Structures are given as C-alpha cells and as structure tokens.
Amino acid sequence: MSLHANAAARLDRLPASSFHRRILALIGIGMFFDGFDVYVAATVLGATLKSGFSTLALNAQFVSVTFLGMMLGSFLTGFLGDRFGRRFTYQANLAIFGLASLASAFAPSMHVLILLRGIMGLGLGAEIVVGFSTLTEFVPPQARGRWLGALSVTVVSSLPISALAATLIIPRFGWRTMFVLGGLGALIVWYLRKSLPESPRWLESVGKHAEADAILQAIEREVSLQHGPLPPPAPFASAPPSRSLASLLSPVLFPRMLVGAVTLIVANTLVYGFVTWLPTFFVREGRSIATSFGYSLIMSIGAPVGSSIGAFTADSWGRRPTIIGASLLTILLGGIYPFIRDPVLLPLVGFLLMIPIYVLVTLLFAIYIPELFPTEVRLRATGICNTFGRGSTIVTPFLVVALLRSHGVGGVLSIMIGFLIVQIVVVFLFGIEPRKRRLEEMDAPAPVAPHPAQG
C-alpha cells in the first residue's frame, strides 16, 4: 500500500451509485429534522402564548436563545469536526438536539423550555455545518452541485411540512407533540447513521492513511459491483495542506472567508428577517390570522421550488452566475412586493419572491461555502462563516421591528435589498467558481482548468 491513500482522486472518479444515495439519504433525513425543529418554533410559540404557558417577553427570549445556541453550535462544530472527524461530530449534534427536543416536550415551565432550547440550538447550528461539508467530501466534482442541492431541497422541505404538521397536530394533541416528533426523528437517524463511514479525505488529512484506504477499498468494491471496473485515479498534485487556523488569513483563503461571511449574513437575514416574519406582516396589514397563515403556506411552497432550481442549475450555470442572478431577481421582486394590495397577486408575487431567496439559500448554505475551503480547515472555516451568519440573526428581529414600525414592509425589504447589493459586489469581486472542479484544485492560488466529467 502506498504512503498516501490518494482519497481525493479515488473518490472523484467514482460514478454515482447506491453508496452516494445512502450517504445523501442519511445525512438528508437528519438535516430534515434539524430544519423541522428550527421552523416549528413559530407555531409552537403561538400555541404557548395562547394557552398562557408563555408571554411575549418569554417568547422573545426563546427566539434569542435559539439563535445564540445556533451561533455557538456553528462555531464549535467547526473545530470539533476538523479535530475529531465528521462522523463523530454529526452523531454528537444529532444526539444533542434529539434528546433536548424530547426533554422539551416535558418542560414544566417556559423558563425550562428556554434553557432546553438553548441546548437544542447547539445541535441545530452544528448540523447545517457538518452535514453539507460531509457530503461535499464524498460526491464527485461533476455532480457536486446537484447532489448538495438535493440535500438542501430535503432540508428546505421541512418548512411547508412543519407548517402543515403544526396545523394538523397542535389543535388536536398540543404543542408538546411537535417536540416529540422532532426528537424521535433525530434519534432514529442517529441510530441509522452509525453505519456511515468517516470521510476518507479527512482521515488522510490527519495522517490516518490506513483507515482512509480501508474505507476507500470498501466503497470501490460496492461501486464496482454496480458499474464494473473503475478507471484509474487521475494524478493530481494539490497544494501543500495546512491545518493552522492562521491559514484562513492567507491571501488565498481570506477573500473566501469574506465571501462566506457576507453571503451567509445576507442569507440568514433574508430567511429570519423576511420569511419567518410573513405572518406578522400580514396581520399588521389588517388580515385575519387564518388568511395570514394561508398566505404564508402558499408562499412557503416557493422554498422547495427555489431549492430545486438551485440544485439543478448549479452545475450547468455555475455558482457565481446563479448567486448574482438570483440576487438581482430577489431585488426586482422585493422592490415590487410592498406595493401590491390585490389579495390574489399578493401571495402569488410572494411565492415568486420566495423562489430566488431559496435559490440563494441552497447555493450558499449547501453548495458554495463548503467548497471554498481545503479539507484540513473546511469545517472550521465554514463554522466561522456560519457564526457570522447566525450572529446576524440575533440583531435581525430588532432591526425588522424598528423598520416595520417606521416604514412598514417596504422598509424591511429596503434593507434586504441593500444587503443583496453588497452580496453581488462581494461575490463578483472576490468569489471563485468551483463548478466541476476538484476540491483540491481550489486550494491553489491560481485557477486550474476544470476536471473533466467522467462518463
């Protein structure tokens, strides 16, 4: 056996197979329950308020603690994932938010529920970092955008499904049942995920070449049974790796850190400064609760539609053109939306507006940011970028309330448009294009010709 396992070249020449589908399914189901637990908060808080279990002030604490936990989880998981491995980290965070979710169903008071939500937030923030990054390290470059986009579609589907589940379940069985569903789902996936292998790329990056080679041989045997003899790995000399945190400040990686931080601040602001506030916007404009939830449900269907478009266009159009194009379309529709009063056009234009927003969510969270960084520091870099993004959600509610009071929905969307303009400039000036390129090719300072797609 050679000194190095040659993990990158051996993984990148594999055709899509049942192995890749199994990885996608197990990571995707876990991340679905992560999204379910995040999105279900809005309906649960409404129910706790109505029943007298909570107050508006305590609900605000619940939201703030959720985002604080997610910010800390995003930050810590980067260091844990690069130090102890991808498999350990995603198993740990699934157990954290699964157990905390189950415990939340039995919370005797809102103060206890808030404490448990903070613990749950640690796992929720970690899952989005480690899940997308782990899949990034397994799928071949010619289809990486499509596979990561499919994972994002799975996660985003939790938005309309959690809204529908809450509508059907909470009136009959109460809000505690929603936490039971999320917790049990996470723990079932935790058990199933024990069969997933560690990332050979990570094992090789920490010098565990024999373990990486053993996993790679098992993967190659499974794939060759379906597709016949595999082509030899293509030789490639990657840049010398560095596990130092200081490498993130190098001339190669610092502009990518800037792109990652800015784009995730924008993406989080769009989701938590606009999407999650839709029912409040509608109620403030004088519409009934039933109408507001109906409009929000119609618009939420645009989320999986947008994610699907992002998944299918990332590999054909490229990451940077799609991010810039979706940002421009969001600016256009966001500029029109506040002036619509027609009860039919309002949810229709809102649905159309959700599509480019979730194209951006898929491109940024799922595909683009994990691709930007070397295996040795991928989770730390992605975790730090997500920390900036999650940190912005702590101040976003106060910004939204202030703008809503002074300038209405138009004021809220004006600040979103400003953020999008900054995003376009940053991605245009500092972004790189990873489409169909090996992850290791992007470690070099100068662009390298794209790796040719395998048959």
Ordered by start, the domain boundaries in the chain are 9-204+248-443
Segment 205-225, tens digit of pLDDT: 888 999 999 999 999 999 999
pLDDT at 282 over 90: no
Tokens found for residue 112: 């206890």
- pLDDT tens for residues 418-427? 999 999 999 9
Q: What is the DSSP string of 204-256?
A: HHTT-HHHHHHHHHHHHHHHHHHH-SPPPPPP--PPPP---GGGGGSTTTHHH
- Quickly list DSSP for 63-107: HHHHHHHHHHHHHHHHHHHHHH-HHHHHHHHHHHHHHHHHHHTT-
Q: How far apart are CA 265 and CA 430, in angstroms?
A: 16
Mean residue pLDDT of the chain comes to 85
pLDDT at res. 2: 47
Q: How many residues does the chain have?
A: 455
Q: Closest Cα partner for 14 from 211, 278, 297, 232?
A: 232
**Confidence band of 343 (pLDDT split at 50, 70, 90):** confident
> pLDDT tens digits for 8-61?
889 999 998 999 999 999 899 988 998 888 888 777 887 888 788 988 778 878
Distance CA 228, CA 291 (A): 56
pLDDT digits (tens, 9 = 90+) for 151-210: 988 988 887 888 788 878 888 898 899 999 999 999 999 998 888 899 999 999 888 999
Domain 9-204+248-443 has CATH 1.20.1540.10: no
Residue 289 is predicted with a pLDDT of: 52
From CA 146, how far away is CA 161, in angstroms rounded? 22
Q: Which two tokens stand for residue 69?
A: 């936990």
pLDDT higher than threshold 90 for residue 394: no
Q: Does an H or E element contain 414, and which?
A: helix 378-430
- Retrieve residue 431's tokens: 């972004």
The encoded tokens of residue 333 equal 């529709």
